[in-house]
Amino acid sequence: MDSSRLNIHLLSDIQSSPTPFHAVSVMSRLLLEQGFKRLQEQDDWGKLDGHYFVTRNASSIIAFQTTPEDIENNGIHLAGAHTDSPCLKVKPNPVINKQGYVQLGVEVYGGALLNPWFDRDLSLAGRVTFRNKDGAIQSVLIDFQRSVAVIPSLAIHLDPNANQKRSINAQTDIVPVLLQQDKDEKKDFHLILQDQIQAQHGNISVDKVLDYELSLYDAQAPSVIGLHEDFISGARLDNLLSCFIGLRAFLDADTGPASLLVCNDHEEVGSISSSGAQGPFLRSVLQRLAGPGEQLSRLIDRSMMVSCDNAHGIHPNYSHRHDSNHGPMLNKGPVIKINANQRYASNSETGAYFRQLCEETNVPVQDFVMRNDMRCGSTIGPITAAEIGVKTVDVGIPQLAMHSIRETCGSRDTFYLYRVLRHYFSTVC
């Protein structure tokens, strides 16, 4: 796969993935197309020999390929990323009638940068759970795709100090407008969802919508931008970029050691959930791969994890927010993230190993350390390392505007990350 084809795939995969549910669905389809077999956690997996994947909550996914000899003699090359991104989620009783507008009450998911949500074309997607005509409870994914809502700014004439002092109240200021209506009748949101299910999944019979998890998202497609096409701009680059580049590298790797890709939901809210990195999903899969007794501990000690999550690239207008020796630049390769207080899991051995992988694939590599006078973020790396006990390095390609509704990264870094991960999956520990 060359660089421009990789980016074309990446943009289309991200656009098809407005929510973690959709991301897992797209990844599942790509795996099935490559001959991977879908496992269910409730089944007996028997002897595992080949290519498999398993999902949990339809929002986290683990894909792996292995042979019994691999498990016996070698370790597993693991890589991880997260499927979720900060966004606005629709509340259970969302409909608000105000000044002739119908608005949707939303809850902020994760550490969203709220300013950029104003005046964007917003669409709506997620999982809807309903009772079908046979009385069974069933879930489907929906995606309106077109722009169905907007959060209008307040004009500067009505707030003359807006450019100096405007702050955002997440309860009252970011309530999206869905439509206008003359009479003050309450719209039935469940019926709107029922119509959408019918429009998208015509053959499904819905008796009653019972519940949902829906997010608003930027309807503008991701794109390659810049006079010389240096950048990729799009929603959810943190961290669908790592999920999809990780998956392509995993699928395109030469037959090497056993390899595994895990993409967890709920990283943006701390990872504590049944499908999050601090839940038991990965351990449970590794346990089933390793077999009984001390096998799991032995397997983990022979294995390694590359945790991929985007890093903060240095911003030309705010370069003082970086340590002067640790300002990763876009298009200068993946970044190794280091934190003395273990907010990142990298250590000298895992870092050195990743540097060597980069050297072997001619990929430049950079370092990130947070300034001492600023709080350092974290990611799934240290959480997975603490849960499983696996040696881990935290890496990621640099980006600007993290957690904005649209983020920017380097158009050449995607191929760097792909090359080094493909090499990692192809190389014996």
- Rule CB under 5 A: choose which of 74, 215, 239, 346 binds Co ion: 239
Comparison of 213 and 238: residue with beta carbon closer to Co ion? 238
The only residue of 84, 143, 238, 407 in contact with Co ion, by rule CB under 5 A: 238
Q: Which is nearer to Co ion, 113 or 210 (CB)?
A: 113
Query: Residue 52: what are its φ and ψ, rounded to 5°?
Result: -140, 165
Omega cis (within 30) before 7: no
Give the nearer residue to Co ion in terms of CB position, either 77 or 82: 82
User: Which range, of 160-168, 287-295, 301-309, 315-323, touches Co ion by CB under 5 A?
Assistant: 301-309
CB of 413 to Co ion, least distance (A): 15
Residues 20-49 close enough to bind Co ion by CB under 5 A: none
Size of interface with Co ion, in residues (CB under 5 A): 3
Q: Which stretch binds Co ion (CB under 5 A): 29-37, 127-135, 159-167, 234-242?
A: 234-242
**Least distance (Å) between residue 226 CB and Co ion:** 23
**Closest approach of Cβ 28 to Co ion, in Å?**
21
CB 394 within 8 A of CB 307: yes
Angle at 107 between CA 104 and CA 109, to 5 degrees: 135
Q: How far is the CB of 242 from Co ion (least distance, A)?
A: 8
Contact between 84 and Co ion (CB under 5 A)? no
Span near Co ion by CB under 5 A; candidates 101-109, 153-161, 239-247, 295-303: 239-247
Find the helix or strand (DSSP H, E) in which 65 lies: strand 60-66
Region of 6-14, 21-29, 52-60, 309-317 interacting with Co ion (CB under 5 A): 309-317
Contact residues for 104 (Cβ-Cβ < 8 A; gap 6+): 90, 91, 94, 95, 96, 149, 175, 176, 178, 189, 216
In what side-by-side order are the strands of the sheet with 231-234?
A: 223-225, 231-234, 407-410, 398-400, 311-312
92-96 long-range CB contacts below 8 Å, 24 or more apart? 92/211, 94/189, 95/186, 95/187, 95/188, 95/189, 96/175
Instruction: Give yes or no for residue 309 binding Co ion (CB under 5 A).
Output: yes
82 or 422: whose CB is closer to Co ion? 82
Q: Do the strands 258-264 and 76-82 form a parallel or antiparallel pair, or are they unpaired?
A: parallel
Output the smallest distance, CB 414 to Co ion, in A. Answer: 16
Strand 206-218 versus strand 87-98 pairing type: antiparallel
Q: Give the range of 46-54, 138-146, 236-244, 417-425 binding Co ion by CB under 5 A.
A: 236-244
CB of 394 to Co ion, least distance (A): 11
C-beta of 402: minimal distance to Co ion in Å? 7
Report the amino acid identity of residue 60: S
Beta carbons within 8 Å of 396's beta carbon, 6+ residues apart: 239, 242, 308, 309, 310, 311, 334, 335, 337, 379
CA 158 to chain centre: 38
Binding site for Co ion (CB under 5 A): 238-239, 309
